[in-house]
Amino acid sequence: MDLYKRAMEVARQYGIPEGIFLGLIEAESSWNPNAVSVAGAIGLTQIMPSTAKLLGYNPQKLKYDPELQLEAGAKYLKEMYEEFQCWEEALAAYNAGPHNVKKYHGVPPFPETERYVQKVMALAEKYQKEISKGKKKQKQTAKFENKKTVISKFKRK
């Protein structure tokens, strides 16, 4: 399975900007589906077992299934976005828990969480640029391949 392509599909399926979801994955696990944190967070999206259960996933199955890891992470991030209506706050809730975002009426003043939100948003911008370049290349290639005659734009001297 191509994790990058699948992650983009899952992001679209859940209505999450692709760049944000890809940035979250890189920040959480560096794209390692076998990652397990000291706190016990699992896989690509570093979902805690207790959160996995609340979302309806079996934490044991999640450990060994990258596709489920992507779905669980997207589902949780989407829930956080629906609650806070702001991607920065949704990411802060993903990292520090929704109770802390509510308590502080926004991104909590925890250095780790502030750095996390900044990192994911910076990565999101990087990924979004890559995605846009890729789409532009695909369009150009498709246009070129659909032409039967190619006329040079450059005149010979």
pLDDT computed for residue 134 by the predictor: 80
pLDDT in tens, 96-121: 999 999 999 999 999 999 999 999 99
Task: Record the pTM.
Answer: 0.85
Domain ranges of the chain: 3-146
CA distance 54 to 46: 15
Take residue 69 and report the two structure tokens written for it: 């890891």
Q: What's the number of CA atoms in the CB half-sphere (13 Å) around residue 154?
A: 2
Of 71, 79, 61, nearest in space to 25 by CA: 71
Structure confidence at residue 149 (pLDDT): 38
Sign, Cα dihedral of 111, 14, 16, 103 = negative
- CATH topology assigned to domain 3-146: Lysozyme (1.10.530)
Q: Which two tokens stand for residue 124?
A: 């999101």
Residues 64, 67: Cα–Cα separation, whole Å: 9
% the chain with pLDDT above 70: 85
Residue 49 structure tokens: 């077992």
Task: Tell me: pLDDT of 27 over 80.
Answer: yes
β partners of residue 36:
42
Pick the catalytic residue: 18, 26, 28, 71? Answer: 28
The two structure tokens encoding residue 150: 């190619």
The verdict on whether 28 is a catalytic residue reads yes
pLDDT band per the 50, 70, 90 thresholds, residue 136: low
pLDDT digits (tens, 9 = 90+) for 44-84: 999 999 999 999 999 999 999 999 999 999 999 999 999 99
pLDDT above 50: residue 18: yes
Q: What is the mean pLDDT of residues 25-35?
A: 98
- Tokens (6 digits) for 70: 């992507």
DSSP letter assigned to residue 46: T
Three-class secondary structure of residue 64 per DSSP = coil
Q: How far apart are CA 131 and CA 83, in angstroms?
A: 27
Can you tell me the mean pLDDT for 140-147?
Answer: 43
Q: Is the pLDDT of residue 21 over 70?
A: yes
